[in-house]
Chain A
Amino acid sequence: MTMRVLFFLSFLLHAATVAAAPSQNALRPAGIQAERIHDLWLLTVGVCAVVFAAVLVALLLALWRSGRSDATTAPDVASLAAPEPTLKRNVLLAVGASIALLFVLIVADFQTDRLLGRMPLADAVHIEVTAHQWWWEARYNDPEPGKIFSTANELHIPVGRPVIMTLKSSDVIHTFWLPNLHGKKDMIPGRTSLIRLRADQPGTYRGQCAEFCGLEHAMMAFLVTAEPNESYEAWADAQRREASNVLSARESRGRQVFMERSCVMCHTVQGSGANAVFGPDLTHVASRQTLASGVLPNNRQQMAAWVTQPQKLKPGTNMPATALSGEELEALLDYLGTLK
């Protein structure tokens, strides 16, 4: 009895966390491209379900009509010798139906692909997404060089405006997969691929690397927030700003720790001396919802754990553990908290 209650409770808990988490569901399309893929999926599932049901019915019918016997009587095999004109007709019918349905699926597939390519692209947002082991770099391009900015693991896009993403990889093959907005697209080192999508409903959607890429493949997620154009522009303006150098004494001490220890070897903080590009850009790290590529919620405790014990939280990550005294860690966390 207690087992059953426990099971039920854990199920409830699971359902609650799933409901609270950002949506990652190809069956809940939030954009025009995903809707078309969803339509194709529905058609394919429908056709396959009908065919499966028909095959099962035919099988049951054949079982029911077959010659029966029990332990004492010989089976009636007379029907085997008799000619079966209906059998030939039924087989021909089934083959014909299969070919016709296959043809329907091929045409639908082709048509979906054509529709995906027809999304209007005027006034598009251009984002260059680079996959790394195991995080995502996003560079928002603009014809005006001063408006280009970089962020990591968390993208914002305007609702109703097309987004053209240029996909690259810096090390091994990854796959960009944002199921609520589009299908999968491979990211192959040395090659550039494009994905065009549009979010039509505001919301936060979770994406995930969909090609096994090493130890932490499963912990390589990203969030995409689709929001109205005005709030997107406000977010982009905030991301373009450099980090403030007006700091309290403790925050300045944190900045000093950042510059003197290993942080500065890989990370960028715009407006400070740190400009290495081998880890995520931290200029606005405090404005993000997650740390470590969608693995941890972004708060002070998790940040402390991530800085001091990254291998415990994400074994194999390229982020090294940094030995800090209590005072240094608190100061560093204060400083990172100012990077909004």
Chain B
Amino acid sequence: MNPLFVRQLCACVVLLALLPGCYREQRPLPGAPATASPTDPLRLSGLQPGEPKASATANNPFEKNAYATSQGKRLFKQYNCAGCHGSGGGGGMGPALMDDKWIYGPEPANIYATIVQGRPNGMPSFGGHIPEEQLWQLVAYVRSLSGQLGSAVAPARSDSLSPGKAEQQRQKEEPREGGLPQQAQ
């Protein structure tokens, strides 16, 4: 037998054997909902009575999960975020989410607080209406709009025709202070 062919065959077998070891992303299924008030709530400040405790939820658990981010994209449309912020985050009645300006801060916790509590001049409060895991999915997607997530996580395409680049192909915008809340008309 041709030695080159044998070598190629061996390489194929070895590569095939390595294939099962490849990383496969897990799909987290939401578990049982919390029944009481969470003992570890979202904390926007490090100053706390007693011994300070870092919040477990201040970092988004879905930041590195492509499935959760794509669920966030679906919810962004379904819950009508797109109605004010534009379907690709380009803005409209509400401020754009794809640029580098963050009125209330670029951290996941800031975005979470904005969705849950609402903001003056038009941002509704969705607290109580959207379950915890869906909130974090939305937060992950909102951050992908300005390229804050890695390209392995950000959605690559839309279900419907949409102008502009997919979230995956957007350049990362360096967050900076600025931007003004929408003025009441």
Binding site for B on A (CB under 8 A): 171, 189, 260-262, 264-266, 276, 278, 308-309, 311, 315-316, 320-323, 325
**In the bound complex, how far is the Cα of B128 from the Cα of A308, in angstroms?**
15
Q: Give the secondary structure class of A's interface.
A: loop
**In the bound complex, how far is the Cα of B131 from the Cα of A321, in angstroms?**
8
Q: Is B16 an interface residue (CB 8 A)?
A: no
Q: How far is the CB of B128 from chain A (nearest CB, A)?
A: 6
Q: Which of A261, A311, A321 contacts B129 (CB 8 A)?
A: A261
Q: Is B26 an interface residue (CB 8 A)?
A: no
- Excluding A261-B128, A311-B31, 7 further A-B contacts by CB distance (< 8 Å) are A260-B129, A262-B131, A265-B79, A315-B29, A321-B30, A321-B32, A322-B33
B131 contacts across to A, CB distance below 8 A: 262, 320-322
Are B159 and A262 in contact, CB atoms less than 8 angstroms apart?
Answer: no
**In the bound complex, how far is the Cα of B32 from the Cα of A171, in angstroms?**
27
**In the bound complex, how far is the Cα of B78 from the Cα of A265, in angstroms?**
8
Are A320 and B27 in contact, CB atoms less than 8 angstroms apart?
Answer: no
A171 contacts across to B, CB distance below 8 A: 159
B34 contacts across to A, CB distance below 8 A: 323
Q: Which of B32, B78, B129 contacts A264 (CB 8 A)?
A: B129
Are A309 and B129 in contact, CB atoms less than 8 angstroms apart?
Answer: no
Are A262 and B31 in contact, CB atoms less than 8 angstroms apart?
Answer: no
A278 contacts across to B, CB distance below 8 A: 78
Interface centre among B33, B79, B128, B159 (most CB of A within 10 A): B33
Are B30 and A320 in contact, CB atoms less than 8 angstroms apart?
Answer: yes
**In the bound complex, how far is the Cα of B164 from the Cα of A166, in angstroms?**
32
Are B32 and A320 in contact, CB atoms less than 8 angstroms apart?
Answer: no
Residues of chain B from 134 to 164 with CB closer than 8 A to chain A in the complex: 134, 159
Known A189-B159, A278-B78; contact A265-B130, beta-carbon cutoff 8 A? yes
Q: Is B99 an interface residue (CB 8 A)?
A: no
Q: Which of B32, B35, B130 contacts A262 (CB 8 A)?
A: B130
Binding site for A on B (CB under 8 A): 27, 29-35, 78-79, 128-131, 133-134, 159
Known A261-B129, A262-B130; contact A309-B32, beta-carbon cutoff 8 A? yes
Q: How far is the CB of A60 from chain B (nearest CB, A)?
A: 44
Q: How far is the CB of A10 from chain B (nearest CB, A)?
A: 31
Are B29 and A308 in contact, CB atoms less than 8 angstroms apart?
Answer: no
A316 contacts across to B, CB distance below 8 A: 27, 29
B29 contacts across to A, CB distance below 8 A: 311, 315-316
A323 contacts across to B, CB distance below 8 A: 33-35
Closest B residue to A317 by beta carbon equals B29
**In the bound complex, how far is the Cα of B78 from the Cα of A260, in angstroms?**
18
A322 contacts across to B, CB distance below 8 A: 33, 131
Task: List 27 A-B pairs, Cβ < 8 Å.
Answer: A260-B128, A261-B128, A261-B129, A262-B128, A262-B130, A262-B131, A264-B129, A265-B78, A265-B79, A265-B129, A265-B130, A266-B78, A278-B78, A308-B33, A309-B32, A311-B31, A316-B27, A320-B131, A321-B30, A321-B31, A321-B32, A321-B33, A322-B33, A322-B131, A323-B34, A323-B35, A325-B35
**In the bound complex, how far is the Cα of B134 from the Cα of A320, in angstroms?**
8
Q: How far is the CB of B41 from chain A (nearest CB, A)?
A: 14
**In the bound complex, how far is the Cα of B128 from the Cα of A281, in angstroms?**
21
Are B30 and A311 in contact, CB atoms less than 8 angstroms apart?
Answer: yes
A261 contacts across to B, CB distance below 8 A: 128-129
Q: How far is the CB of B88 from chain A (nearest CB, A)?
A: 19
**In the bound complex, how far is the Cα of B34 from the Cα of A308, in angstroms?**
11
A308 contacts across to B, CB distance below 8 A: 33
Are B31 and A320 in contact, CB atoms less than 8 angstroms apart?
Answer: no
Closest B residue to A323 by beta carbon equals B33
**In the bound complex, how far is the Cα of B79 from the Cα of A189, in angstroms?**
21
Closest A residue to B133 by beta carbon equals A320
Interface centre among A261, A309, A323, A325 (most CB of B within 10 A): A323
Are A262 and B30 in contact, CB atoms less than 8 angstroms apart?
Answer: no
A266 contacts across to B, CB distance below 8 A: 78
Closest B residue to A215 by beta carbon equals B27
3 closest Cβ contacts across the A-B interface? A323-B33, A320-B131, A321-B33
A262 contacts across to B, CB distance below 8 A: 128-131
